[in-house]
Structure 1
Amino acid sequence: MKRIAIILLFTSFLLPATAQSPINLGLKGGINSAKLTSNLDEYNEESISKFHAGAFVRVNLGNIYVQPEGYFNTKGGELKSTSGVVSSFDLKTVDVPVLLGVHIIKKGPLGVRANAGPVFSFVTDKELNEGTTFNRDYIEDNFFGWQYGVGADFMMFTLDVRMENSSGELYSGPDLESKSKSFVISLGIKLL
């Protein structure tokens, strides 16, 4: 009973601070389903699921907000050729999206929002599976894309669902040009 009282007391102090603060700072993590698209008809794209974790800052300006984020991400994909050969990319990146959003609903502890903006990805580790015909030297060290989606806030918790599309080539070699597409779901907690 004492623990429940402490949790309720802590939440009652945190809730007004979260609701009234023009700046929110928090941690987030989640899963993403990534897929590579290619310029060759002989390949079929397959999605793979990975994870991400990091932090965000939300600067509330009335019904509009700016939300820069930084998180460690693992992404990649599989390309299956018609001959049965599988080539998989496994990348570790640091992603930095800068989102512009609008609060659609703001009622007490509940909020619904939409956002979009650029994402900058910096590759920290590149892996290709054994037997692949592709070369790791053709994987870009950084690339640019766009994220867009919706989110919901309840008290100090946030939930985001987004799509991410790379604008440039992720892999640019003589045999293949490939872009990345991801479906991203993340859960976060506002610390401020």
Structure 2
Amino acid sequence: MKKLLLVLLSVVSSTLFAQEKADSTLIKTDSVKVDTLINQKEVSKKRKKIEEDTLSYTEEFKRDRVKFQFGLRGGVNFGRYQIKEIKDVVRVTSSGLPQFPIVRDNFLNNAQSALGYLGGVFVRMTRGSFYFQPEAVYSQKGGKFDILQTNGNLFKRVNGTINAVDIPLTFGLRFRQGRIFAGPVASFPMSFNQEIEDALKVYTVKDFKDELLTRPKFGVNAGIGFEFKHFFIEGRYEGLFVNMIDYEIGPTNNPVQFQMSPSQFQISIGLVK
């Protein structure tokens, strides 16, 4: 009887051990299959990314897919003001009448540049070697002009700044790590610094800001950039088709037109993702 029990116990234990070993082998096999599938997916993703990165611009364009990116940029402006030079501008009193004795001044250009800053965001839509990039940029446009007395002495050197929100729409062409671009820009002036206001108040009693800050100005921008993965550096020129300031100054009975347009050379760095 004891021998029979021992035989039965031996058979049961052998069966249980065999079953446990089979289950363990099955688990290991399933784990290997899962790991293999995960690795295959990762390899497939990497291979797909490498294949996409090595596509030529022509092949990218044929895929009929637009790539969207977002970015930001900031930098500095090197600005100049171009004014319409005018002579014999009469200073006025608080009533708008000519000062007595009459004083006349000349408005002249100054070739010196002034430093400003800029910062903004953009969206880039790319297909092949072509891209379209609308932006929103806050820009400080600096510049200088001179006011001379009729005897040739300097009355004022105006260091002006105009703060504006620019909306450039750039159309670009990529080549390797570089790109070139150009397009229209709309500039919305927000404020002027005190030096411009003080300089013009000598020749007018009107508050010119209310009129000047309600109208967008249109121009063009163009430049070149270089990209290193998500980082880029670029230089661009921006100029306006119309005058930022176009205003009558002088006595009300004999006014003259003061016209001024800023132009900027910008150097900026940024990130695109």
TM range (shorter): 0.7 to 0.9
Separation in structure 1 between the aligned mates of residue 269 and residue 162 of structure 2, nearest angstrom: 22
For residue 69 of structure 2, the aligned residue among 24, 35, 41 is 24
Q: Secondary structure at the match of 2:200?
A: coil
- Alignment root-mean-square deviation, CA: 2.3
Alignment of 1:22-171 (within 5 A): 22-40=67-85, 42-45=107-110, 46-83=112-149, 84=154, 85-103=156-174, 105-106=175-176, 111-129=177-195, 131-133=198-200, 136-137=208-209, 139-141=212-214, 142-171=216-245
Runs of 4+ in 1 over 2 A off after TM superposition: 133-142
Quick check: 76-85 or 156-165, which moved more? 76-85
Q: Secondary structure at the match of 1:132?
A: helix
User: Is the 8 Å Cα contact of residues 86 and 132 (structure 1) preserved in structure 2?
Assistant: no
Under a length normalisation based on structure 1, what TM-score does the superposition of the two structures give? 0.80
Aligned-residue offset at 1:133: 2.7
Separation in structure 2 between the aligned mates of residue 128 and residue 76 of structure 1, nearest angstrom: 13
Give the AA of the match of 2:241. Answer: S
Give the AA of the match of 2:268. Answer: S
Higher helix share: 2
User: Is the 8 Å Cα contact of residues 168 and 179 (structure 1) preserved in structure 2?
Assistant: yes
User: Is the 8 Å Cα contact of residues 101 and 116 (structure 1) preserved in structure 2?
Assistant: yes
Quick check: 146-155 or 167-176, which moved more? 167-176
Separation in structure 2 between the aligned mates of residue 151 and residue 189 of structure 1, nearest angstrom: 12
Separation in structure 2 between the aligned mates of residue 49 and residue 86 of structure 1, nearest angstrom: 16
Q: Which has the higher contact order (CA 8 A, sep 6+)?
A: 1
Q: Secondary structure at the match of 1:176?
A: strand
Deviation track 1:77-119 (CA, whole Å, cap 9, x = no partner) reads 211133422233322111110000111x22xxxx101000011
Deviation track 1:138-191 (CA, whole Å, cap 9, x = no partner) reads 64542111001101101110111001111111110124111111001110011x
Separation in structure 2 between the aligned mates of residue 90 and residue 162 of structure 1, nearest angstrom: 19
Higher strand share: 1
Structure 1: 5+ residue runs without aligned partners? 1-12
Deviation track 1:55-84 (CA, whole Å, cap 9, x = no partner) reads 111111111110111111111321113342
Identity of aligned residues (%): 25
Aligned residues: 171
Under a length normalisation based on structure 2, what TM-score does the superposition of the two structures give? 0.57
Aligned to 2:260: 178
Q: Secondary structure at the match of 1:82?
A: strand
Give the AA of the match of 1:186. Answer: S
Pick the structure with greater CA Rg.
2
Give the AA of the match of 2:246. Answer: S
Separation in structure 1 between the aligned mates of residue 234 and residue 158 of structure 2, nearest angstrom: 30
